[in-house]
Amino acid sequence: MSAVGNTFENVKAVILSAHKSTTSREKVIFYDSWAENYDQDVAVLDYRAPSLAAHCISSHFSGLRAAAVVLDVACGTGLVAKQMKQHGFGHFVGVDGSKAMLGVARKSGLYRDLKQCLLGEEPLPSQWGLFDVVVIVGALSVGQVPVGAVRQLCTATKPGGYVCMTTRGNRDNVEYKARLDRELGQMEREGLWACVDVAEAKDWERAVSEQEDGYISGAVYLYQKL
């Protein structure tokens, strides 16, 4: 799938076409077709979530970054790993539902292991309690990964490790974000983790919805497993 000329209008059309995909299989097919042009297209959107998440993790992580093992869930083409690499992290394991996206991520040379998994329908193919950092950027939103999947992220993290998550603040995602906030809070009350930071950003990415102009907002959540 190519946005001819890589203009905002063409990229917008590509993303809006994804909203027509209703089943998990259809969504995987969409991302498979988008993989080749994904990095260029989200650059047109001024998509800041990967850099914001990496900065949030970097601001609070006090361990030895060069030795830390990071699980990058819904890793896509590897944008988050590229950002975290700039902050000194170097050991990445990636999981994504799209085989084509994983193919692009593999070419980056950043990941020591990559596995295909449709989070929310399949359990994470990773050892529990292994990772110093678990990060998921871009996939926690309406029509993608269900809110309940955040419990798997916590389980995959070692005690004292961090879980970093992002979600959008656009109109279509308001109800999802509210459910996510409730679930994160409930897990904190259960003593599973503690909130370290919630960073709100106004300029998350350029809006593609006909109901919104300019930029949509977003949020980065950072929790530490107890």
Quick: pLDDT tens for 71-108: 999 999 999 999 999 999 999 999 999 999 999 999 99
Contacts of residue 87, Cβ cutoff 8 Å, sequence gap at least 6: 54, 55, 57, 58, 65
CA distances from residue 133 to 56, 66, 68, 223 in whole angstroms, order as listed: 12, 12, 7, 10
Report residue 8: phi and psi, to 5°: -60, -45
pLDDT of 223 > 50? The answer is yes
Report residue 85: phi and psi, to 5°: -60, -35
Structural domain boundaries, residue 56:
48-225
Residue range 173-208, pLDDT digits in tens: 999 999 999 999 999 999 999 999 999 999 999 999
With cut-offs at 50, 70 and 90, classify the pLDDT of residue 18.
Answer: confident
Question: For residue 21, is it within any domain?
Answer: no
With cut-offs at 50, 70 and 90, classify the pLDDT of residue 219.
Answer: very high
Question: For residue 39, is it within any domain?
Answer: no
Among the listed residues 29, 117, 32, 112, the one whose alpha carbon sits nearest the alpha carbon of residue 73: 117
pLDDT of 3 > 80? The answer is no
Do residues 80 and 74 lie in contact, with contact meaning Cβ atoms separated by under 8 Å? no
Question: For residue 125, is it within any domain?
Answer: yes
Residue range 140-163, pLDDT digits in tens: 999 999 999 999 999 999 999 999
Question: Could you tell me whether strands 69-73 and 91-96 are parallel, antiparallel, or unpaired per DSSP bridges?
Answer: parallel
pLDDT of residue 166: 98
Q: What is the mean pLDDT of the chain?
A: 94
Question: Could you tell me whether strands 131-136 and 111-116 are parallel, antiparallel, or unpaired per DSSP bridges?
Answer: unpaired
Question: For residue 34, is it within any domain?
Answer: no
pLDDT of 118 > 50? The answer is yes
| DSSP string of the chain, one letter each residue | ---GGG-HHHHHHHHHHHTT--SHHHHHHHHHHHGGGHHHHHHHTT--HHHHHHHHHHHH--S-TTT-EEEEET-TTSHHHHHHHHTT--EEEEEES-HHHHHHHHHHT-EEEEEE--BTTB--SS-TT-EEEEEE-S-SSTTSS-GGGHHHHHHHEEEEEEEEEEEE-SGGGHHHHHHHHHHHHHHHHTTSEEEEEEEEEEEEEE--STT--SEEEEEEEEEEE-
Question: Residue 135: beta bridge partners?
Answer: 72, 164
Number of domains within the chain: 1
Token digits of residue 2: 């190519």
CATH assignment of the domain containing 188: 3.40.50.150
CB count in 10 Å sphere of residue 214: 8
pLDDT of residue 2: 47
pLDDT of residue 218: 98
pLDDT of residue 5: 60
Question: For residue 197, is it within any domain?
Answer: yes
Question: For residue 8, is it within any domain?
Answer: no
Question: For residue 215, is it within any domain?
Answer: yes
Question: For residue 127, is it within any domain?
Answer: yes
